[in-house]
């Protein structure tokens, strides 16, 4: 079973257009916020995540997409479900489902791929995902 996480949100006015519909670009911060909450639920923080040796790691995005199905309106509570779809040596792929609270309406589906990196003097360098992170993502 793939690890998953659910978060409930309510759109605020600044995330909507003049019609009171959530602006398409607002879905990307929703996905990122949900990912951060997912890691907090595992006892981690994206701002100070480390490998087994204590070296700081980060997760830049190498792909992000969102398919919009139905309009999501201002102050309408919704659920974001994150699922870890695939873990490779250096990347993690997440899927995101945006649904009504009763899960009867699908507002959007998204996908994000992140790559594990360490910061070097020359910039970021991709590395294999540390075993301590793999272990947390492999728990049932």
Residue 22 phi, psi dihedral angles, 5° rounding: -60, 125
Which ranges of 21-130 would DSSP assign to H, the alpha helix? 27-41
Distance CA 19, CA 119 (A): 43
Contact between 99 and 107 (Cβ < 8 Å): yes
pLDDT-derived band at 119 (thresholds 50, 70, 90) equals confident
pLDDT-derived band at 53 (thresholds 50, 70, 90) equals confident
Q: What's the CATH code, domain 4-138?
A: 3.10.129.10
Q: What is the DSSP letter of 129?
A: P
Return the pLDDT at 140. 56
- Does the pLDDT at position 1 exceed 70? no
The domains of the chain are located at 4-138
């Amino acid at each position: 079973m793939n690890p998953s996480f659910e978060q409930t949100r309510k759109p605020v006015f600044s995330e909507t257009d003049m019609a009171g519909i959530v602006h398409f670009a607002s879905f990307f911060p929703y996905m990122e916020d949900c990912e951060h909450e997912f890691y907090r639920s595992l006892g981690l923080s994206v701002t100070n995540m480390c490998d087994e040796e204590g070296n700081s790691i980060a997760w830049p995005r190498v792909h992000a997409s969102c398919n919009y199905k139905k309009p999501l309106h201002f102050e309408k509570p919704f659920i974001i479900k994150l699922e870890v779809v695939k873990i490779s040596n250096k990347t993690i792929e997440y899927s995101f489902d945006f649904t009504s609270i009763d899960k009867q309406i699908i507002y959007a589906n998204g996908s994000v791929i992140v790559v594990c990196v360490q910061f070097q003097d020359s910039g970021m360098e991709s590395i294999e995902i540390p075993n301590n992170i793999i272990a947390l993502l492999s728990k049932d």
